[in-house]
Structure 1
């Protein structure tokens, strides 16, 4: 159970860090030209969608039974990887 709790806490911390990064990108988008802002907003919306999906997976993980733990953990890791890729892609366009 301790390993599970540590994993959940680690994922919460990572998600909080991503949320802070999304806020930074949002602030940066506000300073961009109107044309660029539209593109940035599209990226930010994709990130927020991934963030919401990852948050949902984290909640599922927290309440998963011991029998379902491994399956739900794998789903969380897959969701996390998709979020990381989306963030990397969006960040590269903000440079």
Structure 2
């Protein structure tokens, strides 16, 4: 397996894990007060947008080659880290 394939598998696993955590948050919405529910729904919407950005960057990365691949990979990693950080903040607020 080459490094691009290994990276793809790693990123796919990360995105599945992040999606599962977002889904868990979504399952909690019905048990919250109206204000908290509205805030969590907004946060979930933002998280899903961030996840879509990661996926779009990933799709662009798959088309790249050589040095462009390395540069674009950094963008994917940054977007993924931002998504993880945002998700952890939301999770900590709604524990």
- Residue 50 of structure 2 is matched in structure 1 by 50
* Partner Cα separation in structure 1 for residue 21 and residue 88 of structure 2: 11
- 1: CA distance, partners of 2:91 / 2:16: 17
Give 1:30 deviation, angstroms: 2.0
Alpha-carbon distance in structure 2 between the residues aligned to 1:12 and 1:46: 20
Superimposed CA distance per residue, residues 44-93 of structure 1 (whole angstroms, 9 cap, x where no aligned partner) = 11111111111111111222122311111110111111111111111111
Q: Which residue of 2 is the match for residue 69 of structure 1?
A: 69
2:11 alignment partner in structure 1: 11
Structure 1 segments, 4+ long, off by >3 Å, are: none
For the 8 Å contact 1:22–1:44, the answer to whether it is kept is yes
**How many residues matched?**
95
Query: Residue in 1 aligned with 2:86?
Result: 86
* Aligned-residue RMSD, C-alpha: 1.2
For 1:34, the equivalent position in structure 2 comes to 34
| Secondary structure, aligned partner of 2:66 | coil
Q: TM-score, normalised by structure 2?
A: 0.93
